[in-house]
Amino acid sequence: MTLHFYKYQGAGNDFVILDNRNQTYALTRAQINFLCDRRFGIGADGLMLLEQADGYDFKMVYYNADGNESSMCGNGGRCITAFARQIGIGETEHFFIAVDGAHKAFIKADGQVSLQMQDIDHIEFGAAETILNTGSPHYVSFQQDIDQINVYAEGKRIRNQERFQPKGINVNFVAVVPEGLTIRTYERGVEDETLACGTGVTAAAIASVCGQTGHFEVAVAAKGGKLQVSFDKTDKTTVRNVWLTGPAKMVFEGNITI
């Protein structure tokens, strides 16, 4: 089988995208894992299918690099929005369905994509961490110097703690800087540090104002680029009107036979 694919990246978080509106592709876990492999396949943090859905511009189906269907991916949502416009779906405003529900997205004049994330009604505060679900579950740990952390080893250790099983959790190490936040993330499913994670950036921004209420706009610098998170926090654990904004660019397109 020959696939026509597109490769996109959002702040270094990269994805293989397939136009599956005609239900052309039915991929196995092993095939998805192969396509995402950086040595033998195309190489990506995940794979997305753009499909049709009644009442929406499109449906986003997301798989981690290990081949398993995953929870929501924020940078993936922004990239698939840019891809939708490329193939003639909508112009600047989009409304789509993903595994965690409906999303709105806007493509700005400078090409950046703003994605509305889900509301949050529960935040867990631990002795050294904040845990919340921003479409995917995240563990947020604030540190003085994230450059000194072995993100792979420490992230893997936390991700596999018994309390987070059987599905595990994404792990974020965050530092407060004058410009906002810096972040490094270990992603489950990729099982390594990624250059950016949209739901992780969102979680970090919300966790950074844990004792405050009001409207916030937080700049977050990931290893692969800069993102912006805006939201309204009405009380200690309730967050509304959450938007993730950043770049979403096509890298290349091509064909591959599997």
Give the three-state DSSP class for 116. Answer: strand
36 carries an active-site annotation? no
* Rg of the chain on CA atoms, in Å: 17
Question: Do you find a cis peptide bond into 178, omega within 30 degrees of 0?
Answer: no
Contact 3, 24 (CB under 8 A): no
Alpha helices per DSSP H over 37-192: 74-86, 151-159
| Amino acid (one-letter) located at 156 | K
The whole-angstrom separation of Cα 178 and Cα 133 is: 26
> 36, 73, 79, 210: which is the annotated catalytic residue?
73
79 carries an active-site annotation? no
> 36, 79, 197, 210: which is the annotated catalytic residue?
197
The whole-angstrom separation of Cα 16 and Cα 22 is: 18
Alpha helices per DSSP H over the chain: 29-36, 74-86, 151-159, 198-207
Q: Which positions are annotated as active-site residues?
A: 73, 197
